[in-house]
């Protein structure tokens, strides 16, 4: 199966969405090169060794002198004595060696954190039973990633072996001369030779690690690509199915219309166009209050409003200009604007007069 195809065979031709990238990051699926971390760790440790070397050389010289002097040859050799000498050797060298390991680990971890933008994810630590599947194991064995790792190993050998070979022949005469030199010259020369070889190899390994990081970024991006169907499914999941959303909107509108029709029963007056528009007004006597539009509609909805109003003995009056102004300027549940106060007040005064100067005496509630 091609790497650019999904399990169903569909080509992954679409760029990964923000949601896909976010999920992949939470899963720990980000581009990172372990080779780059290893090279930076080695370079940091070797640089630190350059500063620690004088103290380390002194300790090693002490060990060599003790081992070659034969100071223990005349005494009885016991387990307790060996243990004592060994612990002394450990306590002498271990702090400096641990410091080098910590520097190498810190540089490697810092490089890895920089590559992943300081991502911390424990998802990769969780065991996956699918990883012990023998069929998937064979697929991973012959995967593109393993092929790339093999090529990287071959390139490393191609880089290291010739450099080490020619460097060895350059420094070999110096090693022969050390056979007659004091031990104080042996360790510094060895360190200098190792440094020469190391700094010849590391720049090339660093270039190879950068190339590996670029490949890992490309490969991760390619793996996260999506098929057209996956993009559609994700969009539906985020935005909802259009048919379902339309049904929800229709139900919401229907419920709002039903509530609006119930409020028509409590209105004081319905203003009409007369045939196309109907607006129901209600006024509660309270300080600072203004008449409110409790229902409005055009066409079929207007006819229903007028029918309900007549059934509940709510006056239906024709005021073309006022009906158009109210319908355009005021939404259901809002108070009328100041500009329409006079016209609406005249209309309500007329309604109150029809009710025998007791405008709220016959008002009903929606519950009644």
Say if 312 falls within a structural domain: yes
* 272/315 Cα distance (integer angstroms): 11
* 280/226 Cα distance (integer angstroms): 54
Domain match, 174 and 286 both: no
* 346/352 Cα distance (integer angstroms): 10
Domain match, 50 and 193 both: yes
Q: How many domains does the chain have?
A: 2
* Residue 173 φ/ψ region, left for φ over 0, alpha for ψ in the -120 to 50 degree band, beta for the rest: alpha
pLDDT at 76: 63
Q: Confidence class of residue 164 from pLDDT cuts 50, 70 and 90?
A: confident
Residue 275 Cα distances to 261, 279, 304, 336, angstroms: 18, 12, 12, 22
The pLDDT > 90 percentage for the chain reads: 10
Structure confidence by residue, pLDDT tens digits, 34-69: 889 999 999 998 888 888 877 877 777 777 666 656
DSSP collapsed to 3 states, the chain: CCCCECCCCCECCECCCHHHHHHHHHCCCCCCCHHHHHHHHHHHHHHHHHHHHHHHHHHHHHHHHHHHHCCCCCCCCCHHHHHHHHHHHHHHHHHHHHHHHHHHHHHHHHHHHHHCCCCCCCHHHCCCHHHHCHHHHHHHHCCHHHHHHHHHHHHHHHHHHHHHHHHHHHHHHHHHHHHHCCHHHHHHHHHHHHHHHHHHHHHHHHHHHHHHHHHHHHHHHHHHCECHHHHHHHHHHHHCCHHHHHHHHHHHHHHHHHHHHHHHCCCCEEEECCCCEEEEEECCCCCCCCCEEEEEEECHHHHHHHHHHHHCCCCEEECHHHHHHHHHHCCCCCECCHHHHHHHHHHHHHHHHHCCCCCCCCCCCCCC
Q: What is the mean pLDDT of residues 321-332?
A: 90
Q: Which of 172, 194, 224 is the last residue of a domain?
A: 224
Q: Report CA 346 to chain centroid distance, whole Å.
A: 63
Higher pLDDT, 190 or 25: 25
Q: CB neighbours (10 Å) of residue 358?
A: 9
Say if 11 falls within a structural domain: no
Say if 138 falls within a structural domain: yes
Domain match, 162 and 288 both: no
Higher pLDDT, 173 or 222: 222
Angle at 124 between CA 121 and CA 127, to 5 degrees: 135
pLDDT at 110: 92
pLDDT at 4: 41
Q: Which of 224, 259, 282 is the last residue of a domain?
A: 224
CATH assignment at residue 258: 3.40.1690.10
* 14/228 Cα distance (integer angstroms): 6
pLDDT averaged over every residue in the chain: 79
Q: Which of 190, 224, 258 is the last residue of a domain?
A: 224
Task: Work out the burial of residue 196: count CB atoms within 10 Å of its CB; fewer than 13 is exposed, 13-18 middle, 19 or more buried.
Answer: middle
Say if 237 falls within a structural domain: no
Q: What is the mean pLDDT of residues 92-109?
A: 88
pLDDT at 156: 81
Higher pLDDT, 227 or 359: 227
Q: Confidence class of residue 183 from pLDDT cuts 50, 70 and 90?
A: low
Q: Confidence class of residue 366 from pLDDT cuts 50, 70 and 90?
A: very low
Say if 229 falls within a structural domain: no
pLDDT over 70 (residue 250) = yes
pTM (2 decimals)?
A: 0.53
Say if 232 falls within a structural domain: no
pLDDT at 280: 92
pLDDT over 90 (residue 102) = yes
Domain match, 95 and 50 both: yes
Higher pLDDT, 265 or 142: 265
Domain match, 258 and 312 both: yes
Say if 139 falls within a structural domain: yes
* 344/302 Cα distance (integer angstroms): 19
Q: What is the mean pLDDT of residues 221-233?
A: 87
Domain match, 168 and 306 both: no
Q: What is the mean pLDDT of residues 287-304?
A: 86
pLDDT at 117: 84
How do strand 292-298 and strand 316-318 relate by DSSP bridges?
unpaired
| Domain enclosing residue 289, as ranges | 245-354
Q: Could you tell me the two tokens for 364? A: 């009903």
Q: Could you tell me the two tokens for 324? A: 């158009």
**Of 66-75, 160-169, 237-246, 264-273, the least confident:** 66-75
Q: Confidence class of residue 106 from pLDDT cuts 50, 70 and 90?
A: very high
Residue 194 Cα distances to 103, 120, 171, 257, 363, angstroms: 19, 36, 10, 87, 103
Domain match, 97 and 173 both: yes
pLDDT at 187: 66
pLDDT at 63: 72
Domain match, 65 and 169 both: yes
**Dihedral (Cα; 80, 84, 89, 91), 10-degree rounding:** 130
Domain match, 186 and 325 both: no
Domain match, 152 and 53 both: yes
Domain match, 206 and 317 both: no
Q: Report CA 178 to chain centroid distance, whole Å.
A: 59
Q: Confidence class of residue 256 from pLDDT cuts 50, 70 and 90?
A: confident
Q: Confidence class of residue 263 from pLDDT cuts 50, 70 and 90?
A: confident
pLDDT at 360: 46
Domain match, 206 and 293 both: no
Say if 368 falls within a structural domain: no
């Amino acid at each position: 199966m091609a790497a650019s195809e999904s399990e169903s065979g569909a080509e992954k031709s679409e760029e990964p969405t923000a949601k896909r990238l976010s999920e992949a990051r939470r899963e720990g699926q980000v581009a990172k090169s372990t080779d780059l971390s290893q090279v930076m760790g080695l370079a940091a440790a070797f640089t630190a060794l350059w500063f620690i070397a004088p103290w380390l050389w002194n300790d090693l010289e002490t060990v060599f002198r003790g081992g070659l002097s034969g100071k223990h040859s005349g005494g009885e050799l016991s387990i307790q004595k060996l243990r004592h000498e060994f612990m002394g050797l450990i306590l002498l060298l271990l702090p400096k060696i641990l410091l080098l390991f910590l520097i190498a680990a810190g540089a490697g971890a810092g490089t890895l954190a920089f590559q992943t933008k300081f991502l911390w994810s424990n998802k990769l630590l969780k065991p996956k039973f699918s990883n012990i599947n023998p069929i998937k194991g064979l697929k991973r064995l012959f995967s593109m990633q393993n092929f790339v790792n093999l090529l990287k190993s071959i390139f490393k050998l191609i880089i290291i072996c010739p450099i080490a070979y020619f460097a060895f022949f350059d420094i070999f005469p110096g090693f022969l001369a050390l056979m007659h030199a004091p031990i104080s010259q042996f360790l510094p020369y060895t360190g200098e030779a190792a440094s020469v070889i190391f700094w010849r190899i590391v720049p090339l390994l660093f270039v190879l690690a950068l190339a590996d990081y670029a490949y890992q970024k490309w490969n991760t991006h390619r793996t996260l690509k999506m098929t057209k169907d996956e993009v559609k499914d994700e969009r539906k999941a985020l935005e909802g199915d259009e048919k379902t959303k339309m049904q929800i909107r229709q139900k919401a509108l229907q419920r709002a219309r039903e509530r609006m029709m119930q409020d028509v029963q409590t209105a004081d007056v319905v203003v009409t166009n007369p045939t196309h528009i109907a607006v129901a007004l209600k006024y509660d006597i309270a300080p600072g209050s203004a008449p409110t539009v409790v229902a409005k509609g055009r066409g079929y909805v207007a006819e229903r409003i007028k029918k309900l109003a007549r059934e509940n003995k709510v006056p239906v009056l024709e005021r073309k200009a006022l009906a158009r102004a109210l319908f355009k300027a005021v939404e259901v549940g809002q108070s009328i604007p100041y500009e329409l106060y006079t016209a609406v007040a005249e209309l309500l005064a007329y309604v109150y007069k029809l009710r025998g100067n007791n405008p709220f005496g016959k008002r009903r509630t929606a519950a009644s």
